[in-house]
Chains A and B, each alone.
Chain A
Amino acid sequence: MSLTGLSKISSPSPRAPRPTLRGRLLQLAERATSPLLPADYLDLFDPLRPGADLRGRIVEVHPETADAATIVIRPGADWAGHVPGQYVRIGVDVDGVRQWRAYSLTHGPRADGNISITVKAVPDGLVSTHLVRESRPGTLVHLEQAQGEFVLPTDGGKFLFVTAGSGVTPVIGMLRNLFPVADSGVVRLPRAAAYDIVVVHVAPSEPHSIFIDNLRALDAAGLIRLVARYDDEHGVLDVADLETLVPDLHDRQTLACGPGGLLDALQTHHDARGLSLLTEQFRASTLVVGEGGTVGFTGSGTTVEADGATPILDAAEAAGVLMPSGCRMGICFGCVLPLREGAVRDLRTGEVTTATPGETEGRGVPVQTCISAAAGACVIDH
Chain B
Amino acid sequence: MTVLQKKAHNPIGHLSPEDIEQIGVELDAIRQSVIDTRGADDAAYIRKVIATQRKLELGSRAVLLVSMFPPAWVVGTAGLAVAKIIENMEIGHNVMHGQWDWMRDPKIHSTTWEWDNASPSEQWKHSHNELHHTYTNVIGKDNDLGYGIMRVDEDQRWVPLYAAQPLWNFVNACFFEYGIAAYDLELGKNLATKERRQDPDFRARAKVTLKKIRNQMTKDYVIHPLLSGPSFLSTLGANATANLIRNLWTHSVIMCGHFPEGVETFERRSIVGETRGEWYLRQMLGSANISGSKAMHFMTGNLSFQIEHHLFPDLPSNRYQQIAPQVQDLFRRYGLTYTTGSLPRQVASAWKKVFRLSLPNGALRRGRGATVTDLPASAPAREHAAA
Contact = CB atoms under 8 A, between A and B. Distances in A.
Interface of A: 28, 31-36, 40-41, 44, 93, 95-99, 326-327, 329-334, 336, 348-349, 351, 360-362, 365-366, 368
Contacts of A329: 134, 276, 279
Interface string B41-66: 11110000001001100100000000
Contact of B223 (A32, A97, A333, A362): A32
B114 A35 contact: yes
Nearest to A365: B104
Contact of B130 (A33, A99, A334, A362): A334
Nearest to B99: A333
Given A35-B114, A40-B54, A332-B133, 15 more contacts: A32-B224, A36-B114, A93-B40, A95-B39, A96-B103, A98-B103, A329-B279, A332-B125, A332-B130, A333-B97, A336-B110, A348-B28, A349-B35, A361-B104, A366-B111
A98 B100 CA distance: 12
A135 to B, nearest CB: 12
Given A333-B110, A336-B110, A44 B55 contact: yes
Nearest to B224: A32
Contacts of A93: 40, 43, 103, 105
Given A98-B105, A336-B98, A366-B109, A326 B51 contact: no
Contacts of B219: 31-34
A42 to B, nearest CB: 10
Given A32-B223, A35-B212, A361 B40 contact: no
Contacts of A98: 103-105
B371 interface: no
Contacts of B42: 96
A35 B130 contact: no
A95 B103 CA distance: 9
B129 A327 contact: yes
Contacts of B115: 35
Contacts of B32: 349
Contacts of B134: 326-327, 329, 331-332
Contacts of A32: 219, 223-224, 227
B202 interface: no
Contacts of B129: 326-327, 331-334
Contacts of B218: 31, 34
Contact of A96 (B40, B51, B55, B110): B40
A46 B227 CA distance: 24
B314 interface: yes
The majority secondary structure among interface residues of chain B is helix
Nearest to A43: B107
B180 to A, nearest CB: 15
B369 interface: no
A-B interface, 9 closest residue pairs, ranked by CB to CB distance from nearest: A96-B43, A332-B129, A333-B98, A326-B130, A327-B134, A35-B114, A98-B104, A332-B130, A95-B39
Nearest to B120: A35
Contacts of B107: 40
6 contacts: A93-B43, A96-B41, A98-B105, A333-B125, A336-B98, A336-B111
Nearest to A36: B114
Given A333-B110, A334-B129, A361-B106, A366 B101 contact: yes
A36 B314 CA distance: 23
Which residue among A35, A44, A96, A361 has the maximum number of chain B CB atoms within 10 Å of its CB?
Answer: A96
Nearest to B310: A331
A36 B108 CA distance: 12
Contacts of A348: 28, 31
B378 interface: no
Contacts of B35: 349, 351
Contacts of B106: 361-362
B215 interface: yes
A34 B43 CA distance: 25
A333 B314 contact: yes
Nearest to B35: A349
Nearest to B136: A331
A379 B104 CA distance: 18
A129 B111 CA distance: 30
Contacts of A332: 125, 129-130, 133-134
B290 to A, nearest CB: 22
B313 interface: yes
Contact of B313 (A28, A331, A349, A361): A331
A329 B111 CA distance: 18
Nearest to B107: A40
B216 interface: yes
Interface in B82-108: 97-98, 101-107
Contacts of A97: 43, 102-104
Contacts of B130: 326-327, 332, 334
A334 B212 contact: no
Contacts of B38: 96
A127 B197 CA distance: 53
B126 interface: yes
A44 B57 CA distance: 13
Contacts of A349: 31-32, 35
A96 B54 CA distance: 21
A44 B54 contact: yes
Contact of A331 (B102, B114, B133): B133
A334 B105 CA distance: 18
B54 A334 contact: no
Nearest to B135: A327
